[in-house]
A and B are shown apart, each in its own frame.
Chain A
Amino acid sequence: MASPPPSPLTTNSAASAPPDTSNKPAAPPVNILPTQLATTYSYIHPAALLSAFAARFPALVNDPVSEMAQQLPFLALAHVAYVMICLPAAGTDSAATAAATPTSPSTPTAATSSASSTTTATTTGSRTNGNVILRPGRVGRRRTKDSSSSSSSTASAIRGRVVASLLSLTLTTLLATPVLSILLILFGAPFTTHHAQTVLCAAHMAILSSLALVYVHGVDGNVWKEVWGAKRPGDVVWGGALGTCVGAWLGAVPVPLDWDRPWQAYPITLLTGAYVGFVLGSVLGRSVLFGKRVRFEEGEDVKKVD
Chain B
Amino acid sequence: MAILPRSWAVIIANVLTPLAVLVFSSGFFPYKPLIPGLARFEDGGNHTATPKAFDKVIFMVIDALRSDFVYSNNSGFLFTQSLIRSGAALPFTAYASSPTVTMPRLKAITTGSKPSFLDVILNIAESDTSSTLAYQDTWLAQLKANGGQLVMYGDDTWLKLFPGMFERADGTTSFFVSDFIEVDNNVTRHVSTELSRDDWSAFIMHYLGLDHIGHKAGPQSPYMTTKQQEMDSIVANIYTSMEQQQHLQSTLFVLCGDHGMNDAGNHGGSSVGETSPALLFISPKFQALDILRQSPTDSHSDFQYYRTVDQTDITPTLAGLLGLPIPLNSLGVFIPELLDLWETRSQRIDVLLSNSRQILRKMTEMFPNRSFDINSMNIACDSGPLVGVDLALCAWFRVNILLQNSGGADKNDLYSELESALFVFLKHAQEVIRSAASDYDLRNLLLGLAITSFVVLLPLPTIYTLLCKSWCAGAFFALCLLGYGGMMFASSYVEEEQQFWNWMFTAWVFCLHVRSSILPRCSMPSQERNTRFYRLYDLSYSNFGALALLLSHRVLRRWNQTGQKFATEPDIARTFFPSHRLILWFLVILTYANTCRHLLAHRLSKLWQLCCVTMALSALLLKLSYVASDSPELLPEALLVLWKRVFDGGSTVLFTRLVVIGIMFLIPLSMCIRNTPQLLVPSTVFHDALTLFLVTQSRATNIPIFLILRAHANILATMNLSALELAITSLIAQYMTFFAFGGSNSIATVDLSNAYNGIGTYNVVLVGILTFISNWAGPIWWVSAAQALRLNQARHERESHMAVLTFHMAATLMSVMAACTILRSHLFIWTVFSPKYLYAMAWAILNHLAVNLLGEVLHLISSKLANHSAVELL
Shortest beta-carbon contacts, A-B, top 7: A297-B472, A229-B517, A300-B475, A256-B496, A296-B515, A258-B492, A186-B550
Known: A256-B492, A295-B472. 15 other contacts (CB 8 A): A15-B519, A20-B517, A185-B554, A186-B553, A191-B558, A229-B513, A229-B517, A231-B514, A257-B490, A258-B564, A297-B471, A297-B472, A299-B508, A300-B479, A303-B479
Interface residue? B221 (CB, 8 A): no
Interface residue? A187 (CB, 8 A): yes
Give A186 to B507 CA distance when docked, in angstroms: 11
Residue of A nearest to B558 (CB): A191
Chain B stretch 500-522: residues in CB contact (< 8 A) with chain A:
502-503, 506-508, 510-511, 513-515, 517-521
Give A257 to B472 CA distance when docked, in angstroms: 29
Interface residue? B537 (CB, 8 A): no
Interface residue? A87 (CB, 8 A): no
Q: Say whether, besides A295-B472, A297-B476, A299-B479, A231 and B517 are in contact (CB < 8 Å).
A: yes
Report A-chain residues with C-beta under 8 Å of the C-beta of B479: 299-300, 303
Which of A19, A249, A256 has most chain B Cβ within 10 Å?
A: A256
Are A300 and B506 in contact, with the CB atoms below 8 A?
no
Q: List 14 A-B contacts (CB under 8 A).
A: A15-B515, A187-B506, A230-B510, A249-B506, A249-B507, A256-B499, A257-B490, A258-B491, A258-B495, A297-B475, A298-B510, A298-B514, A299-B511, A300-B479
Are B496 and A296 in contact, with the CB atoms below 8 A?
no
Are B518 and A17 in contact, with the CB atoms below 8 A?
yes
Interface residue? B551 (CB, 8 A): yes
Q: Return the contact of A229 from the options B496, B514, B563, B570 (Cβ within 8 A).
A: B514
Give A294 to B490 CA distance when docked, in angstroms: 32
Report A-chain residues with C-beta under 8 Å of the C-beta of B472: 14, 295-300
User: A-B contact count, CB below 8 Å?
Assistant: 99
Q: Separation in Å of the A198 CB from the closest CB of chain B?
A: 13
Q: Say whether, besides A14-B470, A192-B570, A296-B511, A256 and B565 are in contact (CB < 8 Å).
A: yes
Are B475 and A188 in contact, with the CB atoms below 8 A?
no
Residue of A nearest to B497 (CB): A256
Chain B stretch 538-593: residues in CB contact (< 8 A) with chain A:
547, 550-551, 553-554, 557-558, 563-565, 570
Q: Say whether, besides A185-B554, A188-B502, A256-B563, A296 and B492 are in contact (CB < 8 Å).
A: no
Chain B stretch 467-485: residues in CB contact (< 8 A) with chain A:
470-473, 475-476, 479
Give A298 to B471 CA distance when docked, in angstroms: 11
Give A10 to B424 CA distance when docked, in angstroms: 72
Chain B contact residues: over half helix, strand or loop, or mixed?
Answer: helix
Convert A181-219 into 0s and 1s, putting 1 for each residue whose CB lies closer than 8 angstroms to a CB of B: 000011110011000000000000000000000000000
Q: Separation in Å of the B302 CB from the closest CB of chain A?
A: 15
Are B492 and A299 in contact, with the CB atoms below 8 A?
no
Interface residue? B493 (CB, 8 A): yes
Q: Separation in Å of the A52 CB from the closest CB of chain B?
A: 29
Which of B514, B550, B554, B565 has most chain A Cβ within 10 Å?
A: B514
Convert A280-306 into 0s and 1s, putting 1 for each residue whose CB lies closer than 8 angstroms to a CB of B: 000000000000001111111001000
Tally chain B residues at the interface, Cβ within 8 Å. Answer: 40
Report B-chain residues with C-beta under 8 Å of the C-beta of A191: 554, 558
Residue of A nearest to B499 (CB): A256
Q: Separation in Å of the A145 CB from the closest CB of chain B?
A: 40
Are A231 and B518 in contact, with the CB atoms below 8 A?
yes
Q: Separation in Å of the A113 CB from the closest CB of chain B?
A: 20
Interface residue? A74 (CB, 8 A): no
Give A191 to B559 CA distance when docked, in angstroms: 13
Report B-chain residues with C-beta under 8 Å of the C-beta of A76: none
Residue of B nearest to A295 (CB): B472
Are B519 and A188 in contact, with the CB atoms below 8 A?
no
Are A188 and B518 in contact, with the CB atoms below 8 A?
no
Report B-chain residues with C-beta under 8 Å of the C-beta of A303: 479
Q: Separation in Å of the A77 CB from the closest CB of chain B?
A: 32
Are A188 and B476 in contact, with the CB atoms below 8 A?
no
Q: Return the contact of B511 from the options A19, A231, A298 (Cβ within 8 A).
A: A298
Residue of B nearest to A192 (CB): B570
Give A297 to B832 CA distance when docked, in angstroms: 34
Residue of B nearest to A260 (CB): B565
Give A242 to B207 CA distance when docked, in angstroms: 60
Chain A stretch 239-264: residues in CB contact (< 8 A) with chain B:
249, 252-253, 255-259
Q: Return the contact of B565 from the options A185, A252, A258 (Cβ within 8 A).
A: A258
Residue of B nearest to A186 (CB): B550
Report B-chain residues with C-beta under 8 Å of the C-beta of A294: 514
Q: Return the contact of B557 from the options A188, A192, A299 (Cβ within 8 A).
A: A188
Give A125 to B803 CA distance when docked, in angstroms: 53
Q: Separation in Å of the A35 CB from the closest CB of chain B?
A: 35
Give A298 to B510 CA distance when docked, in angstroms: 9
Give A187 to B554 CA distance when docked, in angstroms: 7
Report A-chain residues with C-beta under 8 Å of the C-beta of B554: 185-188, 191
Convert B102-145 into 0s and 1s, putting 1 for each residue whose CB lies closer than 8 angstroms to a CB of A: 00000000000000000000000000000000000000000000
Are A297 and B473 in contact, with the CB atoms below 8 A?
yes
Give A133 to B340 CA distance when docked, in angstroms: 97
Give A255 to B563 CA distance when docked, in angstroms: 13
Give A303 to B471 CA distance when docked, in angstroms: 14
Q: Separation in Å of the B577 CB from the closest CB of chain A?
A: 15
Q: Separation in Å of the B479 CB from the closest CB of chain A?
A: 6
Chain B stretch 133-168: residues in CB contact (< 8 A) with chain A:
none
Q: Say whether, besides A188-B502, A299-B476, A228 and B517 are in contact (CB < 8 Å).
A: yes
Convert B181-193 into 0s and 1s, putting 1 for each residue whose CB lies closer than 8 angstroms to a CB of A: 0000000000000
Chain B stretch 231-286: residues in CB contact (< 8 A) with chain A:
none
Report A-chain residues with C-beta under 8 Å of the C-beta of B517: 20, 228-231
Residue of A nearest to B502 (CB): A188
Which of B492, B495, B547 has most chain A Cβ within 10 Å?
A: B492
Are A17 and B470 in contact, with the CB atoms below 8 A?
no
Residue of B nearest to A187 (CB): B506
Which of A17, A185, A255, A297 has most chain B Cβ within 10 Å?
A: A297
Q: Separation in Å of the B250 CB from the closest CB of chain A?
A: 49
Q: Say whether, besides A229-B518, A257-B490, A296-B472, A187 and B550 are in contact (CB < 8 Å).
A: yes
Residue of B nearest to A256 (CB): B496
Report B-chain residues with C-beta under 8 Å of the C-beta of A20: 517, 520-521
Report B-chain residues with C-beta under 8 Å of the C-beta of A17: 518-520
Residue of A nearest to B725 (CB): A296
Report A-chain residues with C-beta under 8 Å of the C-beta of B495: 256, 258
Q: Separation in Å of the A233 CB from the closest CB of chain B?
A: 13
Give A296 to B469 CA distance when docked, in angstroms: 13
Report B-chain residues with C-beta under 8 Å of the C-beta of A259: 492
Are B551 and A186 in contact, with the CB atoms below 8 A?
yes
Report B-chain residues with C-beta under 8 Å of the C-beta of A19: 518
Q: Separation in Å of the A229 CB from the closest CB of chain B?
A: 4
Q: Say whether, besides A17-B519, A229-B514, A299-B507, A256 and B476 are in contact (CB < 8 Å).
A: no
Give A187 to B491 CA distance when docked, in angstroms: 24
Which of B475, B476, B490, B518 has most chain A Cβ within 10 Å?
A: B518
Report A-chain residues with C-beta under 8 Å of the C-beta of B558: 191
Report A-chain residues with C-beta under 8 Å of the C-beta of B471: 297
Residue of A nearest to B828 (CB): A258
Give A259 to B496 CA distance when docked, in angstroms: 13
Give A299 to B508 CA distance when docked, in angstroms: 8
Q: Separation in Å of the B98 CB from the closest CB of chain A?
A: 16
Convert A17-40 into 0s and 1s, putting 1 for each residue whose CB lies closer than 8 angstroms to a CB of B: 101100000000000000000000
Q: Say whether, besides A228-B517, A295-B472, A256 and B506 are in contact (CB < 8 Å).
A: no
Give A255 to B472 CA distance when docked, in angstroms: 27
Are A257 and B493 in contact, with the CB atoms below 8 A?
yes
Residue of A nearest to B575 (CB): A192
Give A297 to B550 CA distance when docked, in angstroms: 19
Give A296 to B471 CA distance when docked, in angstroms: 10
Q: Separation in Å of the B804 CB from the closest CB of chain A?
A: 16
Report B-chain residues with C-beta under 8 Å of the C-beta of A228: 517
Give A191 to B475 CA distance when docked, in angstroms: 31
Report A-chain residues with C-beta under 8 Å of the C-beta of B510: 230, 298-299
Give A258 to B475 CA distance when docked, in angstroms: 29
Report B-chain residues with C-beta under 8 Å of the C-beta of A253: 503
